[in-house]
């Protein structure tokens, strides 16, 4: 599928993976609409070709409003990239007691339910457009994590949410095949995003040294480049792709 002339919806677009992806798709010729929380979109640096819209991905109404905005602008939505997510750390049981239930619920709500919400509503919008010569209407790209497969201590909620995203992939691809919509998930390793900003240079260097090759943290631009490759590769469907430099996470 060609990127030029399409419209793309990217969640978590105000920073990190989402910002890099929105910029890459815009540079490739797409009209990009980025969703993020209002506090994140306020004051975000503008990017040519990217319109930031305030929306909570876990709620139906604001996502529908964003999709309506795309229609009103006369753009044809063909690409959805779900990058919105959170990654708090807590053990099942610690000196403070058992894992907070509300925290676990919040992580699943944002990472898993939010991804599903945007996918289901976005697929409905994509399905209204005419298919291309091969019957394809569009593609949904979700973001899991290698934590879905071998998470570390303190990542129980994050791991459960990202395993859920990976687990949806093949079923979603089969559900949406009749509409000509592909579904692919990317599972990044350790990426140098704003979530890593709180770590010291020594800690970040140590994390990068643990990657077999290349021995460094992944860059958001590398995730964005993989997104564009998935969009343009029409036979990639129902697959979860690890982007981790061959890293397999240790327990700690």
Residues with a catalytic annotation lie at 158
Residue partners of 94: CB distance under 8 A and separation at least 6: none
**Rg (Cα) of the chain, in Å, rounded?**
18
- 3-class SS at 184? strand
Q: What is the DSSP letter of 135?
A: S
Phi, psi of 229 (to 5 degrees): -65, -40
Q: Which two tokens stand for residue 149?
A: 């497969």
8 A C-beta contact, residue 176 and residue 124: no
8 A C-beta contact, residue 58 and residue 110: yes
- By DSSP bridging, strand 239-243 and strand 181-188 are parallel
Phi, psi of 139 (to 5 degrees): -145, 140
Q: What is the DSSP letter of 90?
A: B
| Site of tokens 């327990």 | 251
Q: What is the DSSP letter of 248?
A: -
Element of type H or E holding 33? strand 31-36
């Amino acid at each position: 599928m060609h990127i030029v002339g399409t419209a793309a919806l990217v969640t978590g677009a105000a920073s990190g993976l989402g910002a890099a992806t929105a910029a890459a798709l815009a540079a490739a010729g797409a009209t990009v609409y980025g969703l993020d929380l209002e506090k994140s979109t306020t004051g975000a640096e503008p990017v040519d070709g990217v319109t930031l819209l305030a929306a909570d991905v876990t709620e139906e109404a604001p996502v529908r409003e964003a999709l309506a905005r795309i229609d009103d602008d006369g753009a044809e939505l063909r690409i959805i990239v779900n990058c919105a997510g959170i990654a708090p750390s807590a053990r099942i049981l610690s000196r403070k007691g058992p894992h907070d239930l509300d925290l676990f619920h919040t992580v699943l709500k944002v990472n898993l339910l939010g991804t599903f919400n945007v996918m289901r509503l976005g697929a409905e919008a994509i399905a209204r457009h005419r298919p291309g010569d091969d019957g394809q209407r569009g593609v949904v790209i979700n973001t899991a994590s290698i934590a879905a497969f071998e998470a570390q201590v303190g990542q129980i909620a994050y791991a459960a949410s990202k395993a859920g995203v990976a687990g949806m992939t093949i079923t979603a691809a089969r559900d949406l095949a009749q509409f000509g919509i592909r579904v692919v998930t990317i599972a990044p390793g350790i990426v140098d995003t704003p979530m890593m900003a709180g770590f010291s240079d020594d800690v970040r260097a140590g994390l990068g040294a643990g990657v077999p090759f290349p021995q460094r943290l992944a860059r958001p631009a590398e995730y964005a480049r993989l997104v564009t490759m998935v969009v343009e590769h029409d036979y990639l469907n129902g697959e979860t792709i690890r982007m981790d430099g061959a890293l397999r996470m240790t327990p700690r």
